[in-house]
């Protein structure tokens, strides 16, 4: 059982990448249930604190990965240090790498037109043994869920790239109806994996400034990044209350 720590009332999984991957592998081998994996970042946590229903959705996941340096640093400031931070891109890659040599089938859902297909193609080139059973860039609705069901092929791990809150809400609403074992909300990961969107250089990512790089190359994100100020306020308020 993976340990979680509550950060601003959101349960965040406190584990390393090896522990997470081991949990997924064991789950697929031994469990007949369903597993939801979300990747909350400061913006998502601010949204969750504004909308209690979405907070319940986040907290219903078996795994909530710490996405972003802001959340990682906040955990230390609040005296609840997390062991590792993740990004959607790296999590998709390391999951595909670990499971590619096993009899496990992947699915890729969401993103702009053909982005899911392009991301899957790139991952197949990187991990030739990767088994891909489904790729679709459709909308987060019942029609898309029906398409997966009609696909008539079980999907062990489905990566869903609709962005929040759509991906978390869609996964929660439909996972029990789908031939899917593990569903993961990965935000804009397909854009970067497919090569359609430029990713920050490694050193910028290492020091936690990928958000700034994204803002520079995508200035339209400024309004979304303002949520960081609200996040800082909520963290300080929680620390001294």
State the pLDDT at residue 153: 81
Average pLDDT taken over every residue of the chain: 89
153 exposure class (CB count in 10 Å sphere: 0-12, 13-18, 19+): exposed
Rounded CA-CA distance 200/193 in Å is 12
Distances (CA, A) of 20 to 91, 97, 130, 165, 225: 10, 14, 19, 23, 28
Provide the total of helices (H) and of strands (E) in the chain, helices listed first: 13, 8
Q: What is the largest CA-CA distance in the chain?
A: 53
Banded model confidence at residue 207, pLDDT cuts 50, 70, 90: low
Task: Write the pLDDT tens digit of every residue in 24-74.
Answer: 999 999 888 999 999 999 999 999 999 999 999 999 999 999 998 889 999
Distance of alpha carbon 150 from alpha carbon 163, whole angstroms? 24
Residue given tokens 């592998």 in the structure block: 25
Per-residue model confidence (pLDDT) at position 217 = 60
> For the segment 208-227, what is each residue's pLDDT rounded down to a tens digit?
666 555 555 665 555 666 77
pLDDT at 49: 96
The residue with greater pLDDT, 68 or 182, is 182
With 80 as the cut, is the pLDDT of residue 198 above it? Answer: no
How far is residue 66's CA from residue 115's CA, in Å, rounded to a whole number? 25
Confidence of residue 201 (pLDDT cuts 50, 70, 90): low
Q: Cα 133 from chain centroid?
A: 20
Contact 180, 107 (CB under 8 A): yes
- Exposure b/e, 107-137, CB count within 10 A at least 16 = b: bbbbbeeebbbbbbbebbeebeebbbbbbbb
At 70-107, the pLDDT tens digits run 899 999 999 999 999 998 889 999 999 999 989 999 99
């Amino acid at each position: 059982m993976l340990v979680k720590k509550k950060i601003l009332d959101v349960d965040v999984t406190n584990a390393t990448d090896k522990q997470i991957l081991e949990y997924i592998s064991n789950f697929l081998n031994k469990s007949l249930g369903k597993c939801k994996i979300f990747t909350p970042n400061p913006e998502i946590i601010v949204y969750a604190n504004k909308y209690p229903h979405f907070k319940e959705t986040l907290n219903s996941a078996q795994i909530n990965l710490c996405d972003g340096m802001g959340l990682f640093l906040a955990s230390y400031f609040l005296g609840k240090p997390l062991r590792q931070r993740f990004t959607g891109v790296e999590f998709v890659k390391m999951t595909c790498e670990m499971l590619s040599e096993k009899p496990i089938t992947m699915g890729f859902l969401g993103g702009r037109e053909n982005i899911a297909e392009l991301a899957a193609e790139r991952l197949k080139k990187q991990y030739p043994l990767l088994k891909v059973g489904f790729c679709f860039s459709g909308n987060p609705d019942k029609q898309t869920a029906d398409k997966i069901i009609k696909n008539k092929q079980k999907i062990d791990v489905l990566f869903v790239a609709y962005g929040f809150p759509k991906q978390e809400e869609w996964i929660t609403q439909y996972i029990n109806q789908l031939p899917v074992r593990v569903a993961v909300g990965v935000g804009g990961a397909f854009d970067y994996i497919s090569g359609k969107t430029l990713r920050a250089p490694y050193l910028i990512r290492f020091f936690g400034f990928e958000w700034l790089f994204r803002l520079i190359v995508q200035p339209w994100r400024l309004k979304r990044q303002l949520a960081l100020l609200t996040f800082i306020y909520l963290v300080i308020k929680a620390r001294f209350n």
